[in-house]
Amino acid sequence: MAYKTKDLLKKAIEVIQEKKLFFIEDVVTMLPCDKTTFYRHFRVESDDMQLIKDELEKNRVAVKTSMRKKWFESNNPTLQIALMKLICTEEERRKISNNYLEGNVDVNHEHNQVFKIGEQLIKFN
């Protein structure tokens, strides 16, 4: 079946807005064409593809904004920590992180210490 790019683009924008889609793969499944036909009409670097990507990005931003607002207003500590990790500075991240390591750990020194302890244990046996 022959498709007009203009009609496919219109349908793609409509379905993105109506279904609140985030991914191109989801858009393709909602159109009356297969993936090959879709990419034949909408080349990766084309202006039409950019319009589709822009619409998808609008949905992502709207959802992220909504989620962050809910997390901020929530009394759930897990959600509040998740939000804090998204918006905090590196210093704040270090303070709230459970597994943060300073970048200046000397692995060779630690390995040598373990090796020396192992040698001492062998001597005692």
Report the distance separating Cα 57 and Cα 59, nearest Å: 5
In a domain, 35, yes or no: yes
In a domain, 112, yes or no: no
Helix axis angle, 77-87 to 47-73, nearest 10° = 130
* Nearest alpha carbon to residue 42 among 65, 13, 14, 73: 13
When divided into structural domains, the chain yields a total of 1
93-119 confidence digits (pLDDT tens): 888 776 656 666 565 666 677 767 777
51-76 confidence digits (pLDDT tens): 999 999 999 999 999 999 999 999 99
Report residue 125 as tokens: 């046996």
In a domain, 119, yes or no: no
In a domain, 113, yes or no: no
Q: Is the pTM of this model over 0.75?
A: no
In a domain, 13, yes or no: yes
Q: What is the domain extent for residue 68?
A: 5-100
Within 8 A by CB and 6+ apart from 91, the residues are: none
